[in-house]
Amino acid sequence: MAELTYREAVADGIRQEMKRDESVVFLGEDIAAAGGVFKTTVGLLDEFGPIRVRDTPISEQAILGAAMGAAMTGLRPIAEIMFSDFLAVCWDIVANQMAKARYMTNGQISVPLVVRTANGGGSRFGAQHSQSVENWAMAIPGIKVVAPSSPADVKGLLAAAIRDDNPVLFFEQKSLYAVKGTVPDGEHIEELGKSKVIRQGSDVTIVALALMVPRALEAAERLQEIDGISATVVDVRSLVPLDTSTILSEVSRTGRMITVEENPRLCGWGAELSSIVAEELFFDLDGPIIRITSPHIPLASADHLEDMMIPSVDRIYEEIRKSMS
């Protein structure tokens, strides 16, 4: 097992798949010579050369247009959109072209394309560079949506996304880039559409994604130590496909569900999950479903305001403790 940071795991996952398959190419702003603005792609240009690892102009439409064309004609491109906020600039290509091409051609055209992007807050980049937009993507049929919380999952899920024949939006939480974790040696691949139970408890099920996973886990440990509340923590990992089987099983067992979401409250992924649980498990629930989210306002750049808006360990702990009382 290797000890890698979240950012190193990005490069490791790309490297694994580029070595394995010569049709995998990589393009984006400053991803080659500079090694990425978040230093997630260091060394790839030296290893694979400028034909397969290409810097592009500052044009999100050009990046995704070129990547989609390459995917439709036999390559497996990885395209980087520097900040997930900038998907708004090229959303037509994502929502109307990538997502629909395979369906509208009855499978004659595949779009095996991964769009990597730095997502979420916590880095003091302000309202235009800190949004958590995975719920945008989740609303579009035809796109797979992945958001890992650990270095091992970054590598394994990224590899799976690259091998998939459908377009995948791969959200990397930028505040996790420095986090270290063990990553299996050799080829490592995880299954898309499979959540992971990372802590087993008996009283309540906490469902979280990306940055909220380590915060939910820390809050769960505090609940156990201080209040004797035993919490299960489920890492969703993939919003599309959504592993409802694992989540429903854990919620049915504990009788309570708390979702912890970085995205704004209105139309967050937890709202959809709450609807599914209410339909499927109404008579198994021992209390109301609780959603812990960011408020439905643009994210502040002031550090103390940003910290107040994004669910913290303290807030997760207090809200769950209150709901359990």
pTM (2 d.p.):
0.96
Residue in the structure block whose two tokens are 């992945």: 146
pLDDT over threshold 90, residue 154: yes
* 296 among known catalytic residues: no
Average pLDDT score over residue span 87-98 = 97
Q: What are phi and psi of 231, to 5 degrees?
A: -115, 135
Average pLDDT over every residue of 91-108 = 96
With tokens 């910290």, the residue in question is: 307
User: What is the helix (H) or strand (E) element at residue 173, kind and residue range?
Assistant: strand 168-173
Decide: 160 and 189 in contact? Cβ < 8 Å. yes
Residue 204, SS3? strand
What are the structural domains, with CATH classification, of the chain?
2-183 (3.40.50.970), 196-324 (3.40.50.920)
Mean of all residue pLDDT scores within the chain: 97
Q: Is the CB of residue 59 less than 8 Å from the CB of residue 80?
A: no
Q: Report the distance separating Cα 71 and Cα 167, nearest Å.
A: 9
Quick: pLDDT tens for 179-232.
999 999 899 999 999 999 999 999 999 999 999 999 999 999 999 999 999 999
Give the percent of the chain with pLDDT over 70: 100
pLDDT at 172: 98
β-sheet with 196-199: strand ranges across? 196-199, 231-235, 204-208, 257-264, 290-294
pLDDT score of 1 more than 90: no
pLDDT in tens, 102-134: 999 999 999 999 999 999 999 999 999 999 999
- For 21, phi then psi, to 5°, come to -140, 115
| pLDDT of 325 strictly over 90 | no
C-alpha 277/C-alpha 281 separation (Å) is 5
Residue 303, C-beta contacts closer than 8 angstroms, at least 6 positions apart: 124
